[in-house]
Amino acid sequence: MTQTSKSQRPQNLWARLRDSRTSVSLLLLAIAAATPLAAPALGQSFYVDVIARIMIWAIAATSLNLILGYGGMVSFGHAVYLGIGAYAMGIMATEGITNGFIQWPLALLLCGFFALIFGAISLRTKGVYFIMITLAFGQMLFFLGISVERYGSDDGLLIFTRSEFDLGFAELDLSNGTTLYYVIWASLIGCIYLSHRIVNSRFGMVLRGAMSNETRMQAIGVPTYRYRLAAFVIAGMMAGLAGLLSANFERFISPDMMNWPRSGELIVMIVLGGMGTLFGPVLGSVAFLMLSELLSTWTEKWHLIFGPFLILVVLFARGGLAGMLERLNPRSDP
């Protein structure tokens, strides 16, 4: 039996590589890795910033997909964790704390703390009540950001110094655009891998089981509330990482990044790419941001074009872009 399982490993690996979703996603990640080298050589340096922004939003979408696609938790206030992570870093930088080894852990812990509080309350509700209470929590912090004049209020906050990571014998210089770009790229890879490990673990099985039939899971003795809350906290911290990267990349933050339309855009990315799939949020982020960038160059009312397109995807492309690619995948013999 051991020999048989070993002989099947290359076939399983080859089957994975033949999977259209995996192939396209790996191709996109490879293109992203090559962009800082290829784009300037082609005289299109602008695309380095475009791809970096797409990857940041892909991290945020991946975090939401963990609880929406695999846990059935429709959080309409998920963008608030981007704002918490970004503002934590921006406020510390404004107060003279630029050490990334202090900024990043504190920001992520703060995101986890708020996610724990919000999740502990929200997860006691279901359906539309869960959606509305997560929306309410998000809007609370959005209006808090608007009211704090010391840190820019609704005008936003400029960040003059990016996070500094001095290891003593070496330094991770985020003031270098290429270095920051590859930190974003590596963070996206790490978040995708973390999601893969979570979803394919016993934890992920409980999460998906609770989405399918929470009552039955509780009847067999599984404390689904704890698992769902843990996933909610992990997703909040992952979104906070996207906020940290955005603050360092843009060197500007505003309360608008916590507003409910940002959460809606994250949901659109996931639906467009494919809910409950590993690379769906990446595909959806690329499609949403590239289409919005392209359509906005033609007309300011680009939403009138994008809206019907999204409706067609929902109606006819079951499973989003990831589902379309899966149907293109040739079936191999058993």
Closest CA to 230 of 101, 70, 36: 70
Element (H, E) at 34: helix 20-41
Q: What are phi and psi of 301, to 5 degrees?
A: -95, 45
CA 133, chain centre distance (Å): 21
CA distance 316 to 324: 10
The arithmetic mean of pLDDT across residues 136-161, rounded, is 90
Helices (H) and strands (E) in the chain — how many of each?
13, 4
Output the pTM of the full model: 0.90
DSSP per-residue codes, 145-213: HHH-GGGTGGG-EE--S--EEE-SS-EEETTSHHHHHHHHHHHHHHHHHHHHHHHTSHHHHHHHHHHHH
- Lowest-confidence pick of 144-153, 175-184, 297-306: 297-306
pLDDT above 90 covers what percent of the chain? Answer: 58
The full set of domain ranges for the chain reads 42-260
Per-residue pLDDT tens for 8-50? 444 454 444 456 667 777 888 899 999 998 888 888 888 899 9
* pLDDT tens for each residue of 281-323: 999 999 999 888 888 888 788 888 888 888 888 777 777 888 7
